Structure 1
Amino acid sequence: MNLLKTLAGISSMTLLSRITGLMRESLFAAAYGMTPYTDAFNVAFRIPNLLRRLFAEGAFSQAFVPILAEYKNRNSHEATRDLVDHVTSALVWTTLAVSLLGIIAAPWLLVLVATGLEKQPDAFASSVFMTRLMFPYIAFMAFVAMSSGVLNCWRNFKVPAFSPVLLNVALIGAALIVTASPHWPVETLGHPIYTQAAAVMLGGLLQVGIQLPALARIGMLPRLANPFAGYRDAGVRRILGKMGPAVFAVSATQISLLINTNLASRVGPGAVSALTYADRLMEFPTALLGVALGTILLPSLSKANVDGNAEEYSALLNWGSRLTMLLALPAAVGLALLAEPMVAALFNYGKFGANAIGAAAAPLVTYAVGLIGIIMVKILAPAFYARQDVRTPVRIAVAVLIATQLMNLVFVPLLGVAGLALSISLAACLNAATLFFILRRRGIFVPDHGWAVFFFRVGCALAVMAALSWLAAHYIDWDALRAQRVLRILTLLGVIGALAVAYFAVLFGLGVRARDFKRSAR
């Protein structure tokens, strides 16, 4: 398998997902603005979404994929199929039970997550309603996470990467319906924001539906059974044993983000939405590179570990780390220097006013500070999970979580919402640096030759790109283009394209070639 070609394939699907995601956020901003009710939706969606990242995609995937890879390489197809059946049964029935508890406990959960909303009774009541409506989303996503793990082990990366597009399509449709209905019948249908909550559930169903044919083609379509039968399976018990600690290790950033949501809800109306808009833009490069690389590396690292091939293991980490530095560093520079033009071009329409641009751009700048750390964690953490070592990342994650909240005490009074994003950024860098140091000390990750020259070349290209970014931000009148939405977006895309050409042209002139990053895995 050509890893670079596979990465390009996954990234193209992820790019489609992120483009539709930006369309969704742009339409959301125009249709609903930045109000207490948009805060209410963002808070309501954050609870099941956090549980999805914690349990379904986070801890579960990191615990499930290495053990599934071991079964696939060492056991029969039937034994692997039984493991998938039992894992799916245990996971789906458990998340359905959690959903039921979440529906019942929604008001108390919101008090914990966003205490500031209590000061706005109507928004709080709306958030309770939407939380209850969207809680079963985690059961859908648990199935999707299981399916993605199976498909990735069979080298089918495109279907899982494409799945989020379906959620975005559902949310875009809901926003278009509201935009086309200036006289929304609040008395009969409730607040227009409720359409987004309904669309989340529809998107979840669509994502489940697209997985089923792909699973059937490889003979791994799971059969739901008694959940207790699943818990008696030795493989399931091993996965659960790894999952418990992995919840903390994989999800330190998400737990910090949840705490930050609570803190942001106290800053003032619109603060949660400002953080959310910045988060969406920051997740664009994170998903294109970090998630895609992590998806590819985990099965390959797991196989190298099963085969006892330490050289291949280290080579995979070197490859992933170089690609991260090559692509994440310019993304961070672009996000920081073009924060306001990006927010203006994508969101400054309809009810999203000029004052909201600066509010959303400030946390985006401070998110950019830690982008390299956020992505490197997604590369380095799988290096431990592929070896079925969960204790080390757990200890690091707990320390980082504490450090994040200590930094909040310093930065939030000074910077407001931007301080919250800065805390997450610096904590991610601390997390990545600690993971790297331990991997080096244990001899698991041995950097290959040429890193100093590589950094020099990237640094020169970044300097040119940064200068051009500053000129574009200060000498293009982005506000004057507000009335011409398509032209403003095309101008932004043109600037980004020109910056990419300049960056890679400098690298090419200094001797960097695409063939340097080609790599194959069995």
Structure 2
Amino acid sequence: MGLLSGSQRMGAAALLLAASTILSRLMGLVRDKIISWQFGAGSEADMYFAAFMVPDIINSLLAGGIMSITMLPLLSRRFAEDEADAWRFFSCVFCWMLLASLLATGAGILCAGPLARLTAPGFDAAQIARLAFFMRIILPAQVFFLCGACMTALLFLRRQFRVPALTPLIYNGSIILGGLCLPWCAQALALPSEWELGGMSGYCVGVTVGAAVGAFWLPWRVARAQGLHLEWRLSHPLFRRFLLTALPLMLGQTIILMDEQFLRLFGTMLPDGNVSLLNYARRITQVPVGLMGQAAAVASYPFLVALVTSGERERFDSTLSTALRASVGLIIPAAVWLGLAARPVLTVIFQGGRFGAAETLACTPLLQIMLAATPLWIIYMVLVRAFYAGGDTITPAVTGTVMTVLALPCYYFWAVPHGAWAISLVSSGSVSAYVLWLMVIWWRRKGGGAFAGLGSLALRVLLCSLPAGAAAAWAQSLPWGAWCAARLGGPLPPLIDALLLLAVSGGLFCLLFAALSWRLAPEVLAPVLRRLQRRKGAGPHAA
């Protein structure tokens, strides 16, 4: 079967990726829940989260996270013109990616000690040694991520999203399994003290195993079964063009790519536990972003590329506008409610074991500050792919790098002295400013067709969310726990109390938001209503 023979509607692809994203985010929260239960917000967890800094930078330097974006337009055209030569071009890219990833990760493993001191300036000597050990375990995962990204690009080209949808599930599952099982195996095998029972080493091993199986082996196996032709090749006439397209993404370390690394880097300059608290808050923040933006952005990209290639400008703007409006219409009420319910949300997800009420209280304002930027995160995920679909990788890279340079002194000279809340504020502010800048650039170059009605929708959705949020906040202020405790003869456990608050305030928020949006923003509810009508219409026939 030819690689280009399959096709999938964008809606079906988005639903598939959305389902994968939901499961992946849930597994990610389970993973972090286990880590927080075992290690809380302490030194060992700080070192684990900081260990990802260098591997993630290597991945972004080699454009691994966006390999499909840079390769798809060129590979798509080449397959349409000459399939045999397209395979030669793909082989050239893959071979160079393999060599570059091996060299970069090898250098990282050899220089783990100095790199640990550079990326965690607030850690002491013992923490640096432990951090370097973690880094050496995690770094090989980048070889599998980067080479696997090439295979995933082939699957995206065919518009086959099933296998890529499995990747994050396998990855998170491996981390959880490694963290829970390896310490006991290490004790049974009498491995060195670095692998001690209760340490983070098992989670690090799970990272590399999950990358090997989920990110590389499975996509490679499926691509091979569907006609993959791979040969050793280091030159191709199209490779230079590919390199010029990818180079801005490699050299341009945008504020989006560096955001998580800055939280880790500057968090190490604060007392122990702050890296973990910032990480936990960001994890929850990225759940609605992933659920409502990532699936739509990834699924829409191959279609945007096809529309650019065929010159259908109006359909391009319409597709982009649909993705933007659908994502923004959902993220605003989600962010408002999550911000108001931050404390019970953190209680349910993380509190327990070594993560106590004090850690929940400290993490709450960090989460609330980061949630303020989530609508802009959603817009970025969709809009940046519109730039890439048109072959423009320079604009997002240059503007993002400029914003990174501007943010650095804000982090170091202002945020670090003021603490973790200030680091969260600089993070949200710099990301928001960058995305607004990109929107202005797009508007000036391409016109406002993609943003038609977006501002009006966002305002109307916000107006619906605020009264619903006020009602939810009032509901949370009522002594539900005391009432239940009086009837049950004892205080409720914190988890049950938090779940009760979330159920009452969340239900009230949804009811009021639905009622208000029915009048002010009916397009937000329209997809749900259409689905209900289709099911109702299908009822008699099914019977």
Cα distance in 2 between the residues matched to 1:478 and 1:401: 45
Matched, 1:210 2:218: yes
Matched, 1:40 2:47: yes
Q: State the AA in 2 paired with 1:393.
A: P
User: How does 1:187-266 map onto structure 2 within 5 Å?
Assistant: 188=193, 189-190=195-196, 192-207=199-214, 208-220=216-228, 223=230, 225=232, 229-230=233-234, 232-249=235-252, 251-266=254-269
Q: Which moved more, 1:257-266 or 1:183-192?
A: 183-192
Listed one character per residue, the Cα deviations across residues 13-33 of structure 1 (whole Å, up to 9, x for unaligned) are 100000011011101111122
Post-superposition offset of 1:383: 1.6
Matched, 1:141 2:149: no
> Measured at CA, do residues 10 and 472 of structure 1 come closer, stay the same or move farther in structure 2, by a change above 3 Å?
farther
Q: State the AA in 2 paired with 1:62.
A: I
Partner of 2:422: 419
Contact 2:179–2:206 (Cα < 8 Å) also in 1: no
Partner of 1:168: 172
> Measured at CA, do residues 186 and 416 of structure 1 come closer, stay the same or move farther in structure 2, by a change above 3 Å?
farther
Q: State the AA in 1 paired with 2:145.
A: M
> Measured at CA, do residues 90 and 186 of structure 1 come closer, stay the same or move farther in structure 2, by a change above 3 Å?
closer
> Measured at CA, do residues 463 and 91 of structure 1 come closer, stay the same or move farther in structure 2, by a change above 3 Å?
same
Cα distance in 2 between the residues matched to 1:70 and 1:478: 62
Question: Structure 1 unaligned runs (5+)?
Answer: none
Listed one character per residue, the Cα deviations across residues 43-101 of structure 1 (whole Å, up to 9, x for unaligned) are 112321343345344453332222223323x3233233222222222112210111110
Contact 1:250–1:397 (Cα < 8 Å) also in 2: yes
Cα distance in 2 between the residues matched to 1:482 and 1:438: 53
Equivalent in 468, 490, 507 of residue 465 of structure 1? 468
Post-superposition offset of 1:281: 0.8
Matched, 1:91 2:97: yes
TM-score (norm 2): 0.85
Cα distance in 2 between the residues matched to 1:372 and 1:250: 22
Q: State the AA in 1 paired with 2:82.
A: S
Cα distance in 1 between the residues matched to 2:137 and 2:411: 32
User: How does 1:63-82 map onto structure 2 within 5 Å?
Assistant: 63-72=70-79, 74-82=80-88
Cα distance in 2 between the residues matched to 1:339 and 1:516: 27
Contact 1:54–1:251 (Cα < 8 Å) also in 2: no
> Measured at CA, do residues 84 and 283 of structure 1 come closer, stay the same or move farther in structure 2, by a change above 3 Å?
same
Contact 1:376–1:432 (Cα < 8 Å) also in 2: yes
Partner of 2:538: none
Partner of 2:333: 330
Contact 1:318–1:447 (Cα < 8 Å) also in 2: yes
Post-superposition offset of 1:37: 1.3
Partner of 1:100: 106
Equivalent in 376, 379, 383 of residue 379 of structure 2? 376
Partner of 2:517: 507
Cα distance in 1 between the residues matched to 2:356 and 2:321: 45
Partner of 1:28: 35
Q: Which moved more, 1:253-262 or 1:128-137?
A: 253-262
Cα distance in 2 between the residues matched to 1:96 and 1:390: 25
Cα distance in 1 between the residues matched to 2:166 and 2:308: 29
Contact 1:58–1:250 (Cα < 8 Å) also in 2: no
Post-superposition offset of 1:327: 1.4
> Measured at CA, do residues 425 and 452 of structure 1 come closer, stay the same or move farther in structure 2, by a change above 3 Å?
closer
Contact 1:384–1:390 (Cα < 8 Å) also in 2: yes
> Measured at CA, do residues 302 and 449 of structure 1 come closer, stay the same or move farther in structure 2, by a change above 3 Å?
closer
Matched, 1:360 2:354: no
Post-superposition offset of 1:366: 1.3
User: How does 1:116-127 map onto structure 2 within 5 Å?
Assistant: 116-117=122-123, 119=124, 121-127=125-131
Post-superposition offset of 1:399: 2.0
Post-superposition offset of 1:505: 4.3
Post-superposition offset of 1:486: 7.2
Contact 1:249–1:390 (Cα < 8 Å) also in 2: no
How many residues are paired up? Answer: 509
Partner of 1:432: 435
Contact 2:263–2:279 (Cα < 8 Å) also in 1: no
Listed one character per residue, the Cα deviations across residues 286-338 of structure 1 (whole Å, up to 9, x for unaligned) are 22223222212322221111111111221122112111210121222133222
Post-superposition offset of 1:501: 5.2
> Measured at CA, do residues 464 and 340 of structure 1 come closer, stay the same or move farther in structure 2, by a change above 3 Å?
same
User: How does 1:267-416 map onto structure 2 within 5 Å?
Assistant: 267-408=270-411, 411-412=414-415, 415-416=418-419
Cα distance in 1 between the residues matched to 2:476 and 2:64: 37
Equivalent in 62, 67, 72 of residue 69 of structure 2? 62
Cα distance in 2 between the residues matched to 1:482 and 1:125: 43
- Which structure ranks higher in relative contact order (CA pairs < 8 Å, sequence separation ≥ 6)? 1
Post-superposition offset of 1:488: 4.8
Post-superposition offset of 1:415: 4.5
Cα distance in 1 between the residues matched to 2:416 and 2:449: 41
Contact 2:137–2:205 (Cα < 8 Å) also in 1: yes
Question: Structure 2 unaligned runs (5+)?
Answer: 1-7, 486-490, 531-543
Contact 1:313–1:444 (Cα < 8 Å) also in 2: no
Cα-Cα RMSD: 3.0
Q: Name the SS of the counterpart of 2:51 in structure 1.
A: helix
Contact 1:318–1:445 (Cα < 8 Å) also in 2: no
> Measured at CA, do residues 371 and 283 of structure 1 come closer, stay the same or move farther in structure 2, by a change above 3 Å?
same
> Measured at CA, do residues 394 and 305 of structure 1 come closer, stay the same or move farther in structure 2, by a change above 3 Å?
same
Post-superposition offset of 1:441: 1.1
Listed one character per residue, the Cα deviations across residues 475-496 of structure 1 (whole Å, up to 9, x for unaligned) are 3668998847578558646754
Post-superposition offset of 1:272: 0.7
Cα distance in 2 between the residues matched to 1:154 and 1:517: 32
Q: Name the SS of the counterpart of 2:386 in structure 1.
A: helix
Matched, 1:110 2:113: no
> Measured at CA, do residues 455 and 31 of structure 1 come closer, stay the same or move farther in structure 2, by a change above 3 Å?
closer
Contact 1:58–1:251 (Cα < 8 Å) also in 2: no
Cα distance in 2 between the residues matched to 1:255 and 1:453: 31
Cα distance in 1 between the residues matched to 2:244 and 2:337: 41
Cα distance in 1 between the residues matched to 2:191 and 2:69: 44
- Identical-pair percentage: 22
Q: Which moved more, 1:96-105 or 1:382-391?
A: 382-391
Post-superposition offset of 1:459: 2.7
Q: State the AA in 1 paired with 2:167.
A: S
Cα distance in 1 between the residues matched to 2:11 and 2:517: 18
